[in-house]
Amino acid sequence: MSSPVMLVTGGSRGIGAGIAVAASAAGYDVAITYETSQQAADDLVAAGHASIAICSDAADSASAATTFAAVLDRFGRVDALINNAGGGGAYGGIDIVGAEMLTRLWAVNITAPFLYAQAAVAHMSTDHGGRGGNIVNITSKAAVLGGAGEWVHYAASKGALETMTTGLAKEVATQGIRVNAVRPGLIVTDFDRDLAPGRTERMRTMIPMQRTGSAAEVAAAVIWLCSDAASYTTGAFLDVSGGR
């Protein structure tokens, strides 16, 4: 019997790479997408943490169908889709937000996950002859907290992704597909370090556990949600945020 297949968007670095590493250790054949980090993607393939890396711009509306087709051509199946690719836009208050930024932010953070989910449902749905599967959307604790003074724009896009999670989970609940989300909090990755120098240290004191989280801790939540241990869990939001 072939191994289950997981597709992780934005899987070359940070949380996405952590998910790829955990998934390969759990027995998945892993496909990842990347936009600019080819070397990091190639390194994951060389290390055996991913079987295939596909260059894909999440803002391109055609990328979801093209990528999904490439994974199916390679493996013949997709059992889990992890919508991880995302962008933050510029860091700051509402005055720094422009229409062009919002257009790309929405394309990457909500349109792309929606189209990837659409492709996944078409393949996985038992109503369409599929074997079922899992979709996990990586949102953010910012979707709940609002991102005031930092990135209301980013928080709003992740809030939209959470609404999609709730609605789609109900829509496909009888089709063998579970749809859940993981809400990372302050996780130390290049994304956070490059965003605003010093922010990590400043925010750490606001976390009840008084520490940052790791990509591996987010990945563990994703792997659980895709496992049989979570067979009665759909439409759920799992916070990995140190209590914040």
CATH number, domain of 160, equals: 3.40.50.720
* Within-domain flag for 244: no
Amino acid at 4: P
Other CB atoms within a 10 A radius of the CB of residue 128 amount to: 10
pLDDT at 195: 64
Alpha helices in 76-225 (DSSP H): 99-106, 112-124, 142-145, 152-171, 190-195, 199-204, 215-225
Average pLDDT over the chain, rounded to an integer: 94
Counting Cβ atoms within 10 Å, is residue 144 exposed (0-12), middle (13-18) or buried (19+)?
middle
* Within-domain flag for 46: yes
Ramachandran angles phi, psi of 184, nearest 5°: -70, 150
pLDDT at 190: 72
Global pTM value: 0.95
Helix H or strand E encompassing 104: helix 99-106
Other CB atoms within a 10 A radius of the CB of residue 116 amount to: 25
Closest Cα partner for 112 from 81, 147, 70?
81
Counting Cβ atoms within 10 Å, is residue 123 exposed (0-12), middle (13-18) or buried (19+)?
buried
* Within-domain flag for 223: yes
* Within-domain flag for 131: yes
Give how many domains the chain has, as a whole number.
1
Q: What percent of the chain has pLDDT over 90?
A: 84
Could you give the CA distance from residue 137 to residue 218 in angstroms, rounded to a whole number?
A: 12
The DSSP symbol for 239 reads: E
pLDDT at 221: 98
Report residue 85 as tokens. Answer: 């690719």
| Parent domain of 208 | 5-239
Q: What is the pLDDT of residues 195-225, one digit of tens each?
A: 667 777 888 888 999 999 999 999 999 999 9
Catalytic residue among 28, 34, 116, 154: 154
Residue 58 has pLDDT above 90, yes or no: no
Q: What is the pLDDT of residues 140-161, one digit of tens each?
A: 999 999 999 988 999 999 999 9
- Asked about 154 being catalytic, the answer comes back as yes
